[in-house]
Amino acid sequence: MPVSSYYRTLKKQIKLHLSGIDLSASPWLKFLSVVDKTYRDYELQLQLLGKSLTQSAEELVMATEEMNAVFQAIPDQLFHIDVKGRIVSYKLGQSSHHYLNKDRLINQYLKDVTDIEVAEKFDAAIQQVIERQSIEHFEFVIVHERKVHYYEVRMMPLKSHAVIALIRDITERRLAEEQIAFLAYHDSLTALPNNRLFKERLQHAIAQAERHGKLLAVMFLDLDRFKLINDTMGHSAGDELLQIISQRLLEAVRKTDSVAINDKKLSSSVARLGGDEFTILLEEIESAQSVIRVAERIVESIAKPMMLGHQEVHISTSIGISMYPEDGVQANEILKFADTAMYHAKDQGRNNFQFYARSMNDSSIELLALETNLHKAIKKKELSLHYQPQFNVLSGKIIGMEALIRWKHPDKGFISPGVFIPVAEETGMIMEIGEWVLREACQQGRRWMDEGFHLHKISVNLSARQLKDDELPALINKILKESGLPADKLGIELTESAIILEPDLVLQRLQKIKELGVTLSLDDFGTGYSSLSYLKRFPIDTLKIDQAFVRDVKIDHEDAALVRAIIAMAHGLSMDVVAEGVEEQEQLDFLVANHCDIIQGYLFSQPLPASELQSLLKKHRS
């Protein structure tokens, strides 16, 4: 074994101070060896200890850096707080800490750096954590710059009678939870209560009314022709309309003078069930008269024109009303009866309200049966066309005819178009029926021409739903070619209400139809919006004066003045004028005197099947 420096140094010192000792003899030789080994081992241990301390220091530095990086990355704030609420140390994470009102926190007490209410919550939690040696959770809320912030605290004990508190800003999470909870009971488009919340409030209101012997009413509203607006102007316009209607309903209900609406929030009495259906709950009402005043206010408010983009739009509502306890005592039946009354309001011409009556249930059953039978009628070919001739005022000759649909039920006989056409429009069957009418009229017109009759024009009515179909011009062109009827022999009749909703789109469609050579008539003129700008813009050839004005021209000065004005205006715009519903000689005399062009009505002929009209055509040909 090589001699270490310790061995040589010790040997030198012994020779210097203990002369005469033989260090090569025993026991000195062994002594020197033991001492040398001891120093060697000590030196080795020192080296190992130094290396270990160096490594531990490096690991500690690394661990500290990693810990700091973690605290910088996590959203939580970490506070080391003693039993008295003094901040020993802290790390601020990534989330907000608006609850702190100072920057320097070390050795500060919580009550000095945050709101007293927050500090008290912390103090109470610290005592519980230390006493129970448990983990505590709690939340607190603060308002910073007019915004509410929510914080969550998790607190755990340390051995040194202190605690560690992790604090996190949970505002976004809490707002998201509140939004989810809100949407569970409210409509996302209008923010009104939805069907679920309305039913809960209705049930509660019924319980209260039963307990205190009060009356309540439920209104069920449906917007008339909303689907037409939504389809023609787009869903965004439809959504905007629903939002406007929601505000009008809220305002109409707020203005009630003798009706107490929900104690908490006025808006809670108005709900959107979905689509264009709304419900209104009126509590603690005095009588049906109170409900009537609210309903009248709603009908008036909804009917006011509104702007959707750059387009003025008119819409109305049909309202059904049921009463507790007169009509029912269960929430579902009260809603059902209000819904039934609403459909009755639509049957009465829309833009009105109707109270529920027991007889309406029978009407609803009949309506459902009618829809079913109409489906069968199309398949079984129970539909037919009758033709009402139109006569030249001066010559008395037949110069045209209007094709009118008829339905002969095998058991019930003839069913009025006024009964089944609205059902066809509501269900969409009008598209199939309308195409059949157009094809049948063109084919019949061609047959009459082939048999040698001089056909001036055969007119067909188009519904608003047909008019919004992009393929309508192509369909008309196809049917004309298939039937062989010349385009100038076909007339298309449309109502003012069919063109009012989306005039720009309708204008383009009518121009394409006009390019085919087909003539266009505006039916029932004077009963709708009667806008002169539409007459100027649209390629209309003929105005048809509604029979409501013709009926009383000899006894009503206003109707007479209106008819004169319509005739003069139409002629000024180079249009022909057809007077509908002429049934008396006095009416005819008035129209002749005021230069009306064409007459149509029972005074000359009722609508006839093709075979009977053919006999009339033969008579006029001769």
pLDDT (mean) for 249-259: 67
Cβ 317 vs Cβ 294: under 8 Å: no
Considering the segment(s) 186-357 as one domain, its CATH architecture is 2-Layer Sandwich (3.30)
pLDDT (mean) for 358-384: 78
The gap between the terminal CA atoms of the chain, to the nearest Å, is 152
Residue ranges per domain, the chain? 5-70, 74-174, 186-357, 368-621
Dig out the tokens for 260 from the structure: 């107490």
Q: Do domains 186-357 and 368-621 have the same CATH topology?
A: no
pLDDT beyond 50 at 264: no
Dig out the tokens for 413 from the structure: 């006989």
Secondary structure of residue 177 in the 3-state scheme = helix
pLDDT beyond 90 at 146: no
Strand order from edge to edge, sheet including 87-91: 87-91, 77-82, 162-169, 147-158, 136-144
Rounded to two decimals, the pTM is 0.52
E runs forming strands in 32-146: 77-82, 87-91, 136-144
Lowest-confidence range among 76-80, 153-157, 173-177, 360-364? 360-364
Secondary structure of residue 84 in the 3-state scheme = coil
Which are the contacts of 100, defined by CB distance < 8 A and separation ≥ 6? 113, 114
Dig out the tokens for 25 from the structure: 């003899």
pLDDT of 19: 63
pLDDT (mean) for 191-199: 91
Phi, psi of 200 (to 5 degrees): -65, -45
Q: Is 581 or 369 the better-scoring residue by pLDDT?
A: 581
Highest mean pLDDT: which range of 51-60, 62-71, 293-302: 293-302
pLDDT beyond 80 at 30: no
DSSP-assigned letter for residue 605: -
pLDDT beyond 80 at 322: yes
Which CATH class name applies to 74-174?
A: alpha beta
| For the chain, percent of residues with pLDDT exceeding 90 | 39
pLDDT beyond 80 at 74: no
Q: Is 428 or 541 the better-scoring residue by pLDDT?
A: 541
Secondary structure of residue 153 in the 3-state scheme = strand
Longest dimension (CA), the chain: 174
CATH superfamily of domain region 368-621 = EAL domain (3.20.20.450)
Q: Tell me the pLDDT tens digit for each residue of 4-15.
A: 666 666 666 666
Q: Tell me the pLDDT tens digit for each residue of 389-442.
A: 999 998 888 999 999 999 998 888 888 888 888 888 878 889 999 999 999 999
pLDDT beyond 90 at 246: yes
